[in-house]
């Protein structure tokens, strides 16, 4: 492991806070930078939190200096596919331009190891599934294009500045911590599992299933749902290999998923089976930018990171239900 502190941007958010917990459990020194636009201060626990913007290079420089930052995990970004198609400028500015400002600030401060929160959406609808890292990069939304763009930017920073990076292409993060201390905020979440929980527990609003005419067994989209604790552990492993300097490529992209796809209706069925409660839902039209089916071939992450997902859809539903029932 590299000596020094890990800066986690967006560490008060959903995946960020689980990763902060995982880093703290591994006895890492951690500092969080979060605007709290969507994050919750209490989610970071006792870890130092600086409230600010990743584009504020002075603030980032101060954090790096004051805490001895050598590694960065970058979560801070907007992530709603539909919104990105309606407000593209907001996504170009925050997800791309502000990330460049962050990278400039941390590299000037001497941090040379960077883990980026990317997305399987960079593949669009892949020609074959499970999808591996050799698949064409073919984004179908502005959000996905911002992730693909930052990956390319990181490859150039590897060439020009010597920055070493791992881009983790998430499949669908879901679930909550097993101790029920942190989970996804359903008041702002747009992901399927928290929306299922909200409809089930509150009875309203009814869940909308967007698209029932896809070329899948039940007509609904298929995704690879990965437990958020498994995803958090992948970040810890990525920092380990960056610190050890064992990766052949200075800029590496890895799929982080389970290798199993579940349709929207299968997720609803699992929620009803595990909780014994009904999920009120209605059928709606397709949304622009939604790929038909994506699930991972995570073998490269297993080989390079020594990482293995431990949980499946049942654990995702159980922990999400325990968290949201609070």
Q: For the chain, what is the domain count?
A: 2
Is 242 found in the same domain as 204?
no
CATH number at 291 reads: 3.90.25.10
Q: List the structure tokens of 289.
A: 């930018």
Do 216 and 319 lie in a common domain?
yes
Q: Report yes or no: 59 and 43 within 8 Å, Cβ to Cβ.
A: no
Same domain, 204 and 271: yes
Find the length of the chain: 326
Q: For residue 123, what is the domain's CATH number?
A: 3.40.50.720
DSSP assignment of 109-169 equals TT--EEEEEEEGGGG-S-SSSSB-TTS-----SHHHHHHHHHHHHHHHHHHHH--EEEEEE
Based on the domain organization, do 280 and 159 belong to the same domain? Answer: no
The chain-wide mean pLDDT, for the chain, equals: 95
My answer on whether 9 and 141 are in the same domain is: yes
Whether residues 87 and 110 share a domain: the answer is: yes
Which pLDDT band holds residue 276 (cuts at 50, 70, 90)? very high
Looking at the structure, tell me whether residues 39 and 84 fall in a common domain: yes
Q: Where are the alpha helices (DSSP H) in 245-291?
A: 264-275
Distance CA 318, CA 326 (A): 13
Q: If you average pLDDT over residues 252-261, what whole number do you get?
A: 97
C-alpha 60/C-alpha 69 separation (Å) is 10
Residue 143 bears catalytic tag: yes
Q: Is the pLDDT of residue 2 over 70?
A: no
- Assess if residue 122 is contained within a domain: yes
Residue 309 included in any domain: yes
Instruction: For the beta carbon of residue 219, count every other beta carbon within 10 angstroms.
Output: 15
Rounded distance, CA 136 to CA 288, Å? Answer: 20
pLDDT at 3: 67
Classify 275 in phi/psi space as left (phi over 0), alpha (psi -120 to 50) or beta.
Answer: alpha
pLDDT for residue 289: 66
Residues 203 and 80 in one domain: no
User: What percent of the chain clears pLDDT 90, i.e. is strictly above it?
Assistant: 91
User: What is the mean pLDDT of the segment spanning 239-258?
Assistant: 97
Residue of 14, 91, 143, 170 with catalytic role: 143
Asked if 113 and 198 sit in the same domain, the reply is no
What pTM did the predictor assign?
Answer: 0.94
Q: Which domain holds residue 271?
A: 192-223+259-324
Q: Are strands 164-170 and 113-119 parallel, antiparallel or unpaired?
A: parallel
Average pLDDT over residues 125-144: 93
DSSP of 216-256, one letter per residue? STTSS-EE-EEEHHHHHHHHHHHHHHHHHT--SSSEEEEEE
Q: Quick one: 82 and 156 in the same domain? A: yes
- Residues near 169 by beta carbon (within 8 Å), at least 6 away in sequence: 118, 119, 120, 122, 123, 133, 253, 254, 255, 256, 296
pLDDT tens digit sequence for 264-273? 999 999 999 9
Span 33-47, pLDDT tens digits: 999 999 999 999 999
Predicted local distance difference test score (pLDDT) of residue 239: 98
**CA 300 to chain centroid:** 18
pLDDT digits (tens, 9 = 90+) for 207-235: 999 999 999 999 999 999 999 999 999 99
């Amino acid at each position: 492991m590299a000596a020094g502190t890990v800066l986690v941007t967006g560490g008060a958010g959903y995946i960020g806070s689980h990763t902060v917990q995982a880093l703290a459990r591994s006895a890492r020194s951690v500092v969080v930078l979060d605007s709290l636009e969507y994050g919750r201060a209490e989610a970071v626990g006792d870890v130092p939190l600086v409230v600010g913007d990743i584009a504020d290079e002075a603030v980032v420089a101060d954090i790096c200096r004051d805490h001895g930052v050598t590694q960065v995990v970058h979560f801070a970004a907007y992530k709603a596919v539909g919104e990105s198609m309606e407000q593209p400028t907001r996504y170009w500015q925050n997800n791309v331009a502000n990330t460049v400002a962050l990278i400039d600030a941390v590299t000037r401060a001497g941090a040379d190891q960077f883990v980026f929160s990317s997305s399987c959406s960079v593949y669009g609808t892949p020609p074959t599934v499970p999808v591996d890292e050799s698949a064409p990069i073919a984004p179908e939304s502005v959000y996905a294009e911002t992730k693909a763009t930052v990956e390319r930017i990181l490859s150039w920073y590897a060439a020009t500045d010597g920055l070493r990076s791992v881009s983790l292409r998430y499949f669908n993060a879901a679930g909550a911590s097993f101790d029920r201390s942190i989970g996804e905020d359903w008041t702002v979440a747009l992901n399927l599992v928290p929306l299922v929980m909200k409809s089930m527990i509150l009875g309203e609003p009814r869940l909308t299933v967007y698209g029932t005419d896809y070329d899948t067994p039940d007509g609904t989209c298929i995704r690879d749902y990965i437990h958020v604790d498994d995803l958090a552990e992948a970040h810890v492993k990525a920092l380990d290999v960056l610190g050890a300097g064992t990766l052949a490529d200075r800029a590496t992209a890895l799929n982080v998923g389970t290798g199993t796809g579940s349709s929207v209706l299968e997720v609803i069925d699992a929620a009803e089976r595990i909780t014994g409660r009904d999920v009120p839902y209605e059928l709606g039209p397709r949304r622009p930018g939604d790929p038909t089916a994506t699930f991972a071939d995570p073998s490269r992450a297993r080989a390079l990171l020594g990482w293995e997902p431990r949980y499946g859809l049942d654990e995702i539903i159980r922990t999400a239900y325990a968290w949201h029932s609070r």
